[in-house]
């Protein structure tokens, strides 16, 4: 929320799976806008809220609802606009995520355990539960990854 860079330091920026951890999207995008040059592109790939139902926890980014900052695409659009961005493109990636996790599930089912390197090293012993809950939430239409491309005005 306070990047250690001068104003207009970057020609482009992106964030992948960041916004679900930061509740104040306006402040987040305001800080990104501050360090970007005019007309710089900004790419986002985050899991976003698709429906208002209760989420199953834990998730890879939040153990409980109290630590979950997942928001709707509308909230992202509003915060981007407030920070001086123009949204150029938006694409829902629900099916992409479902296909990815189906392939992952098949690969894990045919193996003798987790690979030597993987998400389990970062997420801990309950990785399977976190991923399972995320997939269940995506399947239920509660959350989905969304890709957005914006440009700083």
Q: Token pair for residue 83? A: 């920070």
- Cα-Cα-Cα-Cα torsion 12, 19, 88, 147, nearest 10 degrees, comes to 100
Banded model confidence at residue 76, pLDDT cuts 50, 70, 90: very high
Sign, CA dihedral 30-31-32-36, equals positive
SS3 percent helix, strand, coil of the chain, rounded to 5, is 40, 25, 40
Q: Is residue 40's pLDDT more than 90?
A: yes
The percentage of the chain sitting over the pLDDT mark of 90, rounded to a whole number, equals 81
Structural domains for the chain:
13-152 (3.40.50.150)
Banded model confidence at residue 83, pLDDT cuts 50, 70, 90: very high
- Find residue 48's DSSP bridge partners: 144
C-alpha distances out from residue 16 to 35, 47, 145, Å: 17, 9, 10
Q: Which of 5-9, 10-14, 129-133 has the lowest mean pLDDT?
A: 129-133
Collect all residues with Cβ–Cβ distance below 8 Å to 84 and sequence separation of at least 6. Answer: 33, 152, 153
pLDDT of residue 107: 81
Q: Is residue 127's pLDDT more than 90?
A: no
Banded model confidence at residue 100, pLDDT cuts 50, 70, 90: very high
Average pLDDT, the chain: 94
44-59 pLDDT, tens per residue?
A: 999 999 988 999 999 9
Backbone angles phi, psi at 56, to 5 degrees: -85, 135
Q: Rounded to two decimals, what is the model's pTM?
A: 0.91
């Amino acid at each position: 929320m306070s990047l250690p860079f001068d104003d207009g330091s970057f020609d482009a920026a992106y964030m992948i799976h960041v916004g679900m951890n930061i509740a104040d999207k306006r402040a987040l995008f305001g800080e990104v806008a501050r360090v970007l040059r005019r007309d710089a592109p900004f790419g986002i790939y985050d899991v976003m809220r698709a429906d208002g139902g209760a989420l199953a926890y834990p998730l890879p980014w939040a153990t409980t609802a109290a630590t979950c900052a997942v928001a709707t695409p509308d909230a992202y659009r509003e915060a981007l606009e407030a920070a001086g961005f123009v949204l150029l493109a938006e694409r829902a990636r629900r099916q992409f995520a479902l296909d990815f996790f189906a392939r992952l599930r098949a690969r894990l089912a045919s193996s003798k355990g987790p690979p030597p390197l993987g998400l389990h090293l970062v997420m801990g012993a309950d990785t399977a539960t976190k991923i399972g809950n995320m997939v269940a939430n995506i399947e239920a239409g509660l959350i989905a990854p969304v890709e957005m491309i914006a440009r700083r005005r």
